[in-house]
Amino acid sequence: DGNSIRLTFKAPEGTTDRPSLLRYIIPKGFIALDGTSLTVTTVSDNERTFGVMLIAHTQTKINLGNKSVGDTVNVEVDMVGKYVEKSVVAAMGDLEDGGPSNLKTFVERTVEDILRRKGVA
């Protein structure tokens, strides 16, 4: 930590045209800021912020540490989160033939079983 600097960024609120990227940002995950791949050190969903740390060597190779408060940066999130989300949505959604997916059916049966055992259903 000695000569490192920590930077915190605020993610813009999502819109219908441009959803928030914050859901793909996790601690110890990767994020590219102005083309530099970095490790995420902190995330606050409530404050819509995430942080990274620049070690001394990285500071000499990039200019991200020279940005001023309020400057914009290009943000690219790790693709793995997007792949996982797409796979889960596809697995939980209905199949193209109109029938439920196997995973969706399994989850529904599991929830119904738990509710039955608790005397709720």
pLDDT tens digits, residue range 66-119? 889 889 999 999 888 888 888 877 776 655 555 666 777 788 889 999 999 999
Q: Say whether pTM exceeds 0.75.
A: no
Q: Which of 82, 83, 1, 77 is nearest to 33 (CA)?
A: 77
Instruction: Give the tens place of pLDDT for each residue, 48-72.
Output: 999 999 999 999 999 887 889 889 9
- Asked if residues 89 and 104 have their Cβ atoms less than 8 Å apart, the reply is no
For residue 100, the tally of other CB atoms under 10 A from its CB is 14
